Structure 1
Amino acid sequence: MICRMFPILLSSVRSADVARQIRDASFPFVVAGCPFALIAKHEAQALTNHGQTLERLAERGGLSAAEAVAVLEDRAYRLMPEGEAHIRLAGLIIGPAIMAAFQAGAAP
């Protein structure tokens, strides 16, 4: 099964300062995408925060990790360190997947 992904902007990750923030947060990777089915449940917040649909945002390259966290948490966007944003975004993506595995009996 192929999962459609919503893009997470990585252009800022190339800067030395952002790479240092991610490393200093003890986070070994960055989030490059979010399952579209997960973020689609928060379409209204994306419209509130960005005035565009998720489809249009995806066409334009996606959202930053901090912007995606705000949408997934159904709240207004606020600045946060890049490392923190990727850690929180990963938790928001992985948490539901783990819960679904437990409910399906696939996890111990």
Structure 2
Amino acid sequence: DLPQTLEEAGGWANRDTAFRFADYAASTVEALGDRVGTWTTLNEPWCSAFLGYAAGIHAPGRTEPSAAVAAVHHLLLGHGLAADTIRAAAPEAKVGITLNMYPIIPVDPSDPGDLDVAR
């Protein structure tokens, strides 16, 4: 979830949201860093960006492809800023991101065109 105030300012399509996310990470690690050893900054940013800002399937329900491209960039920027913030406050912590990766298999493995598309 993204606070409504940030969504009204453009949501993840607004670069400032990445910096607000880093602020949130700082507050969270300050409150919980002595008890949490493993941190995941974001869950499936592809879904947040493209399903939320291009397809309108997930929150915030927008259908603006250019906003989706900006959102994915800002989500990844936010991840990097938050990860740096967490590591600075809790150097022993494990910090990562959850990505929804899956294999891409060419329709015809003997077709150079299919192999190129899959690559």
TM-score (norm 1): 0.30
TM-score (norm 2): 0.29
